[in-house]
Amino acid sequence: MGSVQIVTTILAAAITAVAVWLAVRAVLKMVAVIRLGQPAPERFTDKVARARTMLVETAGHTRMLKWGVVGAAHWFVMVGFVVLSLLVLEAYFEVVTTDGGLPIIGHWTIFGLVTEIIGVLGLVGILVLMAIRLRNRPTRPGGRSRFTGSTMWQGYFVEWIVLLVLIFGFVIRGFKVATDHFEFPFWATPVSHAVGAVLPDWADGVSVAAAIKIIISMTWLIVISLNVTMGVAWHRFLAFPNIFFKREPTKPAGSGLGALRPMTSQGKPLDFEEADPEKDQFGVAHVEQFSWKGLLDFSTCTECGRCQSQCPAWNTGKPLSPKLLILSLRDHAYAKAPYLLAGGGKDLTGEEKATQAQLAHLDVLALAEADKPLIGTAEEGGVIDPDVLWSCTTCGACVEQCPVDIEHVDHIVDMRRYQVLIESSFPSEAGVMLRNLENKGNPWGAPQNTREDWTKGLDFEVPRVGEVDDFEYLFWVGCAGAFEDRAKKTTRAVATLLNEAGVKFAILGEGETCSGDPARRIGNEFVFQMLAQQNVETLNEAFEGRDKAKRKIVATCPHCFNTLGNEYGQLGGEFEVVHHTQLLAHLVATGKLTPVQPVDGGVTYHDPCYLGRHNRVFAAPREVLGDAIAGDLTEMPRNSERSFCCGAGGARMWMEEKIGKRINVDRVEEAMATGAKTVAVGCPFCSTMLSDGVNGKGAGEQVEVIDVASVLLRSVKPEQPQGGKETTPVGG
């Protein structure tokens, strides 16, 4: 060992010792913060499925690759990080001696070849990512950026470190080539040989370059250890547990979607018959009331902004960005953590838990952070502004896009639950809807005895459950389908088609009440449970004696479809629920319905969020339309998984949209830009929102918004009177 090697070895050892000490301290701090969250025992089930999903999602980059070039570039950088960590390890041997290398595998030609290939691809990958970040920088003139609000220096810092580490990997090898210490042949390591050809024959070059590489790597470790909220770096480690503990490990994509989580206290679902707000947690009022998985979510956010780029609220000028919401919660959690870790916090009656002595030596900033209300305006010092909280349509685009499986919708609804149930604080116009649900069992407050009015004028009898018991499908009509004029046309079309196809079906009629979806999504879990329990009882009675496979329900409303199929199981109701487009596609495919006259004029299809993204039903409505229309379906640019919300979900249907551009107008402009004369939908709320949008643009005579079932009916029974356009919703 020469004098240069003595210096490089000491430098490498010293900076590594500091970095490792800081990293251990940072990891302990993060673990302590995450452990402040509430229990979530359900996250420990299905460990094999969880491990499989984690490996598939990370190795396969299932979300990222949907973004094409950026996904591929990130994959190479990720693989490069894992494999080339071995080369960082090797650098510790190289600072000691110029011909040092990794023991055993470091001398295999295959090791030289693989690391060479990954080094080159990693270099290309990181240059592509750097170019993409620069091209999308928020400060560039004109245009929107998914990085708006992201901490840009952190992204640039991480990318430069990766670039420099990769470059120095080749410089070390180059010096080995130049000094004749390189053992791999040219065919396996051509780039290293090319670098060696231009480097001088400097005997200590290997050790010096290796020391620089270690210093760069450890600088990265020191910086991220001093910044525990630096998700762009920490996600390299946190993404694995965050994906492993995702809510629905068996669902490959959109994992946090579909059902909402039940309201829990101490990790146990709340039963409102016994729940007590002084003993049980009702939703989330303080950041530590999220589960530990919530706190892990916040820590893992990479600030990539994919969620933000797809969010209908953000894209129409609302203050909600799912990314900024997660970042606000993360920063608040870590800033408040010293107070919580000292024993601070409020009990469920609002009393401080810590003694004065416990808080005596606390940083004033942590104490100030602890005083911030979780939901509050800027003047109130709130962490999340109420306008942010109430802008969400629960469309799920954010969860769908998030490469590290953050579950934004669950967190938003948990915060809404506290606001609604304890604070009674929510947009006042939604109060009418909630009162109607409680008193009349439907959001419009229509009389229950008019639920079957849609059957009037049909040329066949619609059977009720109880009058017949050999029905195959229970037709769940839904409140919109029973009371709202446009939706009633869909209900009649579906009933007519089922009758035409010879499907035995029956309705509950006046026995049906609202599924509870709007109550649950606005945060009123109490009203949801009340309605859902009543429906589960009614449905269990209707299907008495049948096993699950024969408890079949067809629903026209994707919100009912989702709630009955995915959420009633939480209350003891297990049913096989299909959307009407799925059943109609099956009836056409099996020859029970035959389209005879293609509908022309150009047709586009709007994917309802609760049918498509939340429940992955993309093909069935397209199959029905493919059979019923002339020519091909014209897709909008944002379709299927990336469909853009109509603006009605998350109970937004019953709230005024006062900020920014109207979401339905944005969507209608996209639909009209396709040139289609018909906008087909599969949801009564989308139908209302898009019809309003079309009418608002004065295009009501040129463009028709119509359910997929009505398109099919026109094709199957062209002689059937279709009725004039009805545009006045109940109560509207």
Residues that bind ligand SF4 (CB under 6 A): 301-307, 310-313, 320, 322-323, 326, 392-398, 401-402, 404, 406, 408-409
Of the pair 21, 237, the CB lying nearest ligand SF4 is at 237
Length of the chain: 732
Kindly state the smallest distance separating residue 158's Cβ from ligand SF4, in Å. Answer: 14
The helix (run of H) or strand (run of E) holding residue 198 is helix 190-198
Longest CA–CA separation in the chain, Å: 99
Smallest distance, ligand SF4 to C-beta of residue 239, A: 9
Q: In degrees to the nearest 10, what's the CA dihedral of 249, 252, 258, 263?
A: 20
Beta carbon of residue 271, minimum distance to ligand SF4 (angstroms, whole number):
27
Q: Toward ligand SF4, which CB reaches closer, 8 or 148? A: 148
Buried-exposed string 315-331: b where 16+ CB fall within 10 A, e elsewhere: bbebbbbbbbbbbbbbe
CB of 210 vs ligand SF4, minimal distance in Å: 34
CB of 666 to ligand SF4, least distance (A): 12
Backbone angles phi, psi at 506, to 5 degrees: -150, 155
Both tokens assigned to 211: 């020391």
Question: Using the 8-state DSSP alphabet, how is residue 550 labeled?
Answer: G
- Judged by beta carbon, residue 394 or residue 455, the one nearer ligand SF4 is 394
Closer by beta carbon to ligand SF4, 173 or else 306? 306
Encode 498-514 in three state secondary structure. HHHHCCCEEECHHHCCC
By C-beta, is 84 or 406 nearer to ligand SF4? 406
Q: Which is nearer to ligand SF4, 305 or 573 (CB)?
A: 305
94 CB-near residues (< 8 Å, 6+ apart): 100, 101, 172, 206, 207, 209, 210
Report the SS3 class of residue 620. Answer: helix
Q: Output the smallest distance, CB 122 to ligand SF4, in A.
A: 21
Tokens standing for residue 573: 């109701």
Minimum distance from residue 537 beta carbon to ligand SF4 (Å): 31
Shortest approach of ligand SF4 to residue 637 CB, angstroms? 17
Output 145 or 393, the one with its CB closest to ligand SF4: 393
Q: What is the DSSP string of 285-326?
A: SSGGGSBHHHHHHHHH-----HHHHH-HHHHTT-S--HHHHH
Do the Cβ atoms of 597 and 713 come closer than 8 Å?
no
Complex with ligand SF4: residue 401 or 643, whichever CB lies closer: 401
- As a whole number of angstroms, the distance between CA 102 and CA 682 comes to 60
Closer CB to ligand SF4, residue 84 or residue 232? 232
Question: Shortest gap between Cβ of 369 and ligand SF4 (angstroms)?
Answer: 21
Q: Between residues 172 and 646, which has the closer beta carbon with respect to ligand SF4?
A: 646
Alpha-carbon distance of 111 to 348, in angstroms, equals: 58
Report the first-to-last Cα separation within the chain, whole angstroms.
86
**Nearest approach, Cβ of 149 to ligand SF4 (angstroms)?**
9
CA distance 555 to 564: 9
CA distances, 496 to each of 226, 589, 593, 685 (Å): 66, 18, 11, 21
